[in-house]
Chains A and B, each alone.
Chain A
Amino acid sequence: MTEIRQLTFVQAINEALAEELERDENVFIMGEDVGSFGGVFGATKGLQQTFGSRRVFDTPLSETLIVGAGVGAAIVGLRPVVELQYSDFVGIAMDEIYNKAAKWRYMHGGVLSVPLVIRAPEGAKGGGGAEHSQSPGGMFQSAFGMYVVMPSNPADAKGLLKSAIRSDNPVLFLEHKALYSKSGPVPNGEHLVPLGRAATVRTGKDVTIVAWGSMVSRAIQAASTLAEQGIDSEIIDPRCIRPLDSEAILESVRRTGRLVLVHEAPRPGGPGAEVAALVAEHALDSLLAPILRVTTADGYFPQSVYLEKFMLPTALDIVNAVEKVCR
């Protein structure tokens, strides 16, 4: 019988890494401060002590090296799990992610595989400012040779990360920093979650709320408030940006006729924009109201913790949007 325990999100990540290091000799971890220090958010805590400095090691402060050397080791058969200390650093290693990790297989006729995982803590938490707070997943919607994963809870974080490490394709694995300390049930033993399959977090008949990452818990909160008003919300957590479970979303929207998209990235180029286009193309005739988006305000995060919180979408924002489309 599978026992359920409570783990924090970061413990779940740590457990997934430990299990995959144990399972497969080809798996190794490198990045800035991931060694004896255990990672600036503690995700690799204790792993170097357990698996040694051959399997878990620090790199110089060199993001193009971290990702690019990960690609190099992957094309000759290892399974590197590399860490970018903040997901904003995808900008530094953009060529290595977008042009190398995602395209190397295609450009070379499908001869080579790139089984690389790039872990990258994302999102606003505690005044990181404009370069340490972003949610860049949407930027990689056209990275066709790569997966982009955004877990919203500890169980998914563990199961998706283990699947990502076992995947023969490169994966950008985005972990929201505000989720790290949140607890949730995680099954004991082997726990895998397939990449590209959405989770229906709540079933409902009046409106479909598609929420990613840190916004899923706010959508759940909003749904309780809305239920008191007699509005029955369905919540879908796509869990990934690529592959996107478009079938699950379309099926739900066809039933409810209403769609609210919720993510922490701003509107332009965020993951919701593509979903809105998809629904407009394939399910417009099912829509009873315009599609609405609830996102971080279009702009940059200020360094001020005080101002930061006004940028982020709240459960009340989701409630207001749903009320508007259900009116």
Chain B
Amino acid sequence: MNNKNKFGFLEVIESLLLNNKRHISARDYIELESGIHASIRKIIKRHELQNVIQEEQITETAGNFMLELLAPSETSFIMKLKAAAINGSLQEEYGYILARLFTLLKENAPQNVQEYFLFSDAVKKTLKKLAKSDKISQIKLGCYAISATSELAQGSTISFPQEIVAKIPLKRQLVNTNVKNMYLEESIIQLLTACPAMYFRANVIASALYKYVEQPSAISIEEIMPVNSDNTTAKNIEIPDMSGNPDSQMSSTALDEAVSDIFALFDLQNEDKKDTVLLCGLGYFAKLCPDFFTPEDLGQDNYELLCASALGETDTIQIFLDKIAKSHLLKVKTGRTTTSNMTNFFKNSLSPLLQDYTIEEQRQIIRALVHRLLEEYAPLLKSR
């Protein structure tokens, strides 16, 4: 979907919500419908759900979403969307809409799709666990390979090479074992070992493995993942008492989930511009909260530029991007206008994702996000 169409349907939504006297024609409603359908398809593609979501679920999700616009009661989603519309921030509106569509898609999904989501979550958690214990390598955020030692090519974004999958024993294991955690780990390792020169997105791995689960109804997340005692969500954070109780700290699981949600939505919204947008975000945070960074994190040069120079925000980030582009041959455009747009894009995309959290929690999330960005882009921050 190009930008004109994307924002075309958003403008229709904005006009409906703000009742701003713009004449809304039958054509506008058709544009609205097709924009929502296109957004749902984008989500499906990004999450590798092509094999599990049927056409009728797309229509049902789009219908439910459009009917929400009629809701006379104060749904939290509509109120947030309206606030973004009043602020005139289409990018922010788009963020809310994508997040809401994904939620509705999951809610509307029949049993088999719900099971797929559970399975996919379990695969993602297992991938993280395996990467943490160095059994596999995280090549970049959400992308994994058996090892990071060789020059890697990105594996198919649609499916795993069938001829390879057919040769490995994971099929038998997954079919016969109710997908216990240990078998899932083994299957992932086997799958990645079979393609040592490629890295794959987590969704591709989940989608490939799911085809070999014969009895999805037997899957339960508890079976797949060990029960985590530290799985409080953001919604369960206790309000600190009057003396300033340090319990207001979000749990690491809640922080991790919040940051993962942010990355997932950035991924969805920005696609090919993602790296530029996130690097602008990193530069923006370094400028805004230098206390979060050390010279070791950013490299001495970058630290001096981002955290200590008196240059303005856009100029600083532009120099930062330019430096990275030149020293690492990264394909990023580094013009001043592009930098300013991408930085604003970052801010506007982030804003809806933080909206539900208190300022105190937002600060913790931003710190965790900075940490994740530094991890993600560590190779680019070292001087060559």
A and B associate: no
